[in-house]
Chain A
């Protein structure tokens, strides 16, 4: 399964709004393309992304085929305490790619 690449600062001060960047390798087959025989290649994309911090939802998105291959997302999060960010990408076939990143908040 594709390995996600995630950027979260290692340290922050309480109350800081931090930048998070997340990218996962995925073809994001749009369902619009055709193969050599002219058959439509069926859609297979990541349709959902979720990010939680210590179990509370921070950011999420519902994704349609118009998002590029290897979907890249950048967003912000406000941190009040040390903890762990959890990232989840859901594929059309139901499989889920998961990753975690910890942050130390002083």
Chain B
């Protein structure tokens, strides 16, 4: 009787704890859902998309990243967008780069915040409907979201 009650208590607290953390940070599932929203029915492959991010970021407040998609750009065939996600930040969305045929080359770079060690994911959508993805794990020494 006593044991059961204790078990129940521990489980209840555990559940509350889990719910609590999932509210604070994004999860890999959130990112998967967001990628699905971009890709629709298209198959996601790695292909010509390259995401560059440091292996170790000493300061999570400013982590340089860049993305590029290889291939010729023309008026009919170009990269529409590249979206960056971070699966361990309070909100998974980071930035969406919108390219045009005038971009000449599908390359963009910026600096982002990372709250903790996590995966950074880039998802590219091409004008022909192809969806590409690339992932880098970044180790963060000092988190960059403030307290």
Contacts and interface: CB of A to CB of B under 8 A. Distances in A.
Interface string B92-109: 011111111111110111
Given A30-B146, A64-B91, A66-B86, A76 B107 contact: yes
Question: For chain A, what secondary structure do more than half of its interface residues adopt (helix, strand, loop), or is it mixed?
Answer: strand
B94 A67 contact: yes
Contact of A68 (B73, B98, B99, B111): B111
B113 interface: yes
A78 interface: yes
Contacts of A64: 91, 93-95
A58 interface: yes
Question: Which bracket fits the contact residues of B?
Answer: 20 to 34
Contact of B113 (A59, A67, A75, A78): A67
Interface residues of A, number: 29
20 contacts: A17-B104, A30-B146, A32-B90, A33-B145, A34-B146, A58-B100, A59-B97, A59-B98, A59-B100, A60-B97, A61-B95, A61-B97, A61-B110, A66-B113, A67-B94, A67-B111, A69-B62, A74-B109, A75-B107, A78-B73
